[in-house]
Amino acid sequence: MTLPHLTPEDRAAALQAAVDARRRRAEFKESLRRGELTLADVLERAKTDEVVSRTPIVTVLESMPGIGKVKAGRIMERVGISESRRVRGLGAKQRVALEEELAGR
């Protein structure tokens, strides 16, 4: 596999884009932790926000108040979502099932 040859300017731009994406993802996860966003908000935002749409579902669940690694894994297992699935990759039935699963929160 050959690597692309980037000019120093292209490399700097790519590094800045990565930094921006990490910052936005951290802010997004913090909003979830504080309870400012719901799962419905996340699913809606994923339609237009690339950072949110590329976030793994397990990360979204673990960032929500009261849900840790074990509980997130159990929820995903009950709903039938693969651990590697990202928000963008959820099917319509998986979205509904996930929202129903978390409705009591």
> For position 90, which CATH number holds?
1.10.8.50
Decide if 88 is inside a domain.
Answer: yes
Report the chain's C-alpha Rg in angstroms. Answer: 16
Q: Among 61, 63, 43, which Cα is nearest to 53's?
A: 43
Q: Is 65 helix (H, G, I), strand (E, B) or coil?
A: coil
State the average pLDDT over residues 82-98. 94
Over residues 53-78, the pLDDT tens digits come to 999 999 999 999 999 999 999 999 99
Mean pLDDT for the chain overall: 92
DSSP H helical ranges for the chain: 8-33, 39-45, 50-53, 57-63, 69-79, 92-101
Number of domains in the chain: 1
Decide if 47 is inside a domain.
Answer: yes
